[in-house]
Chains A and B, each alone.
Chain A
Amino acid sequence: MSSQLALEPIPASLLPPAGNMLRIGAPGRAPEPTYYGLPMLKKPLWSWEIALYFFGEGISSGCFVLATAAEFFGGKDYARFIRVARFVSFATMIPCPPLLIADLGRPERFLHMLRVFKPSSPMNLGAWALTGFGVPVTILALAHAPGLVPRPFRLLLRRAPAKWLVLLGLGPAFIMMSYPGVLLATTSTPIWTRTRALGALLASSSMVTSAAALALASAIHPFMDDFAREAMRKIETAAHICETGALAAYLLETGRAADPIVRGSQARNFWYGAVGCGLVLPWLIHRAKGKKPRRAATIVSALLTLAGGLALKWSIVHAGHESALDGDANRRATAASPRNPGWRPSLS
């Protein structure tokens, strides 16, 4: 089996610039406590698939939660809104499993994720949540469009216990909303791991993007009544406030380890995309448009919010690459503290 293994070339990013040795041994300088400036950690291998997956599953679970809230608390007035929210939830759920499978080193073994139930691993919990979420979402969406279903199954679908399916999907939906940030935080990558706010940040971003997706759908195909539109606007504002707070908490807690998004390789995506398009511009449009929003303004605002949500998840996932290979960041992140003294030469 091992004979199948191929030679791994040393990535250029792992090799220090020539002359590093002179720096270590320069006369008059105390040797710096580093190993030729090499990184300590391996680069996380998650990339665009995971960024897109976090974006898609965020909208999917957020729309499911919104539809459910409208169903239980809004009642019959929201029938069209619920129907569209269930469709958006279903449509954004569809690309999720393929993205996750494509990300694996051994895609044909994707079902091994469900070989055990291991909530101590956020990835395992997420895989179970996606499974438990996908089934009710699919049935509920198809129940609203029986025309798409082959005739023999239609009767079954009509008999589907919608209320129970909604309750069945609600728990997994909350897990799907909440776990991506926790998954990233449960690693050793400095930019992800030094915080308790990353889960909340990605969860609130998911809610913001779901509200934007529904606003966009309603602007293109006006299914929302004025009162639904008003409710959605309030929800989006609340989620935006949550996101801003979580973002501030995340940046404060992470400190210098957040450099890859603050001034490093992902700074452009983060500042222009996540903050500019995702937070500032929609807020400005929201302020400018006043009581009676115009359709074009709604569309532009929703598109900007969606782009900002994608940019946030994209930049945070990709910033892990730079962060893990930054030896200095990791040395700072793993410096001894009274709570975590580590192992050091004793001075006795």
Chain B
Amino acid sequence: MNPEIIDVWKRPPAPEPREEMGFFTDTTLCIGCKACEVACKQWNQLPADGFRWTGMSYDNTVALNSVTWRHVAFVEQFDRDGQPSRWLMMSDVCKHCVEAPCLEACPTGSLIYNEFGSVYVQQDVCNGCAYCVAACPFGVLDRNSEDGRAHKCTLCYDRQKDGMTPACAKSCPTESIQFGPVRELRERARERVRELHARGETDAYLYGDEASGEYSALNAFFLLKDHPNVYNLPEAPHRPAAQMKKNYLASFAVSIAMAAVSALCFARGKA
């Protein structure tokens, strides 16, 4: 038999694990140019969002979805007299959680951690069950209605394979989006917060640099200047599976108890 046909059935060796890579998005440097959005669309060949005005801000992208993997949020804040006081801008992206709920939920094993530690949807496996869509606490994943599969940021897996920087980080003119080994990025981010605090910007803090409560750290984490809700991020995301065992326990207990009661009733009711 042709050896190439036999090779189809052989599982190729998994790629060697590499150093974990991620994004550090420093929102104090973001100028809202949306170069990241455009670069992401171009490299990943994603369709445009259309020419629609939301009428509420410069944010006409609104949210991440199956064909928008970078989204720049625009927050215009006013002081008590109604005078414009400051702009906050944040380039949002998949958080590439260290313990990702979407990945835990995925029934097909389509969602995996790749060798760079990023959360990746294998498009040849995904069958569009939409469990990840409901599981993601950040509303990142979405199923595309035309193609029926879930899509999200791949952290430019293809570029990384060739040792290149992801398209959004490459295009960012202010280095608001920084790409690199997660360990280094976290160090750099903490240094940056110390620096900002020393300069009197005491509201700066890191979102997702370390695990908090039941939620893991994020490999794409942020430096923010206001409450997370202001950027449409949850303050304290829950790990959906945190209650799963207790839920199963209660559920099985009730099922088995009802079965036992039925057995008792049948045994008693014998003619």
Contact = CB atoms under 8 A, between A and B. Distances in A.
A5 B127 contact: no
Contact of B243 (A16, A70, A196): A196
Given A18-B56, A187-B105, A344-B228, A74 B266 contact: yes
A340 B262 contact: no
A115 B122 CA distance: 13
B173 interface: no
B129 A105 contact: yes
Given A8-B66, A26-B82, A336-B235, A341 B244 contact: no
A138 interface: no
Contact of B240 (A21, A110, A188, A200): A188
Interface in A6-59: 6-10, 14-16, 18, 20-21, 24-31, 33-36, 38-46
A238 B256 CA distance: 13
Contacts of A66: 262
Given A188-B240, A199-B248, A343 B129 contact: no
A319 interface: no
A78 B265 CA distance: 12
Given A2-B44, A123-B107, A342-B213, A42 B128 contact: no
B174 interface: no
A321 to B, nearest CB: 10
B215 interface: yes
Interface stretch (B12-20, B139-147, B159-167): B139-147
B239 to A, nearest CB: 9
A288 interface: no
B238 A188 contact: yes
Contacts of A96: none
A106 interface: yes
Interface in B233-271: 233-238, 240-241, 243-244, 246-248, 250-259, 261-271
Given A27-B81, A41-B139, A339-B214, A238 B67 contact: no
A6 B268 CA distance: 63
Contact of B47 (A5, A36, A107): A5
Contacts of A334: 137, 234-238
Interface stretch (B2-10, B71-79, B175-183): B71-79
Interface residues of A, number: 120
Contacts of A5: 45-47, 66-67, 144, 146-147, 151
Contact of B228 (A115, A186, A188, A343): A343
Interface in A222-248: 225, 227-228, 230-232, 234-235, 238-239, 242, 246
Contacts of A120: 104, 241
Interface stretch (B26-34, B184-192, B199-207): B199-207
Contact of B128 (A74, A104, A186, A343): A104
B125 A112 contact: yes
A234 B134 CA distance: 38
B62 A123 contact: no
B265 to A, nearest CB: 4
Which one of A77, A78, A232, A343 has the greatest number of beta carbons of chain B within 10 Å? A343
Given A28-B82, A334-B137, 15 more contacts: A8-B66, A14-B62, A15-B62, A16-B56, A29-B80, A31-B78, A45-B130, A77-B270, A103-B130, A105-B149, A188-B134, A330-B234, A342-B228, A343-B207, A348-B202
13 contacts: A8-B68, A10-B50, A26-B82, A38-B232, A43-B133, A45-B130, A112-B108, A177-B255, A179-B248, A182-B247, A202-B251, A230-B269, A242-B254
Interface of A: 1-10, 14-16, 18, 20-21, 24-31, 33-36, 38-46, 65-66, 68-70, 72-75, 77-78, 103-107, 109-110, 112-113, 115-116, 118, 120-124, 127, 174, 177-179, 181-183, 185-189, 193, 195-200, 202-204, 207, 225, 227-228, 230-232, 234-235, 238-239, 242, 246, 320, 324, 327, 330-331, 333-337, 339-346, 348
